[in-house]
Amino acid sequence: MDLGLDDKTQPLSPKENDAGVVLTEEAKRRQRLRSLAIAWALFALVVMFFLVTIVKLRANVASPPF
């Protein structure tokens, strides 16, 4: 069964490929805003985990289990 694939051919280098998808200025702006929103959400999640950890540690230190 011949699939027409030649093992000797090399894939094109990035310089030889097409330009790919070219974004408009509006699409670039929306992509940047979406990336910033994701970054802020991730930052808020990290801060929340940090604060919850600090609060739990302080609670355990304030009342040791004697």
Per-residue pLDDT tens digits for 8-43:
666 555 555 567 889 999 999 999 999 999 999 999
Q: Do 21 and 28 form a contact (C-beta atoms < 8 A)?
A: no
Q: Provide the pLDDT for residue 41.
A: 98
Q: Is the pTM of this model over 0.85?
A: no
DSSP character at residue 10? P
Q: Provide the pLDDT for residue 20.
A: 86
- Tell which residue, 50, 31, 54, 30, has the closest CA to residue 42: 50
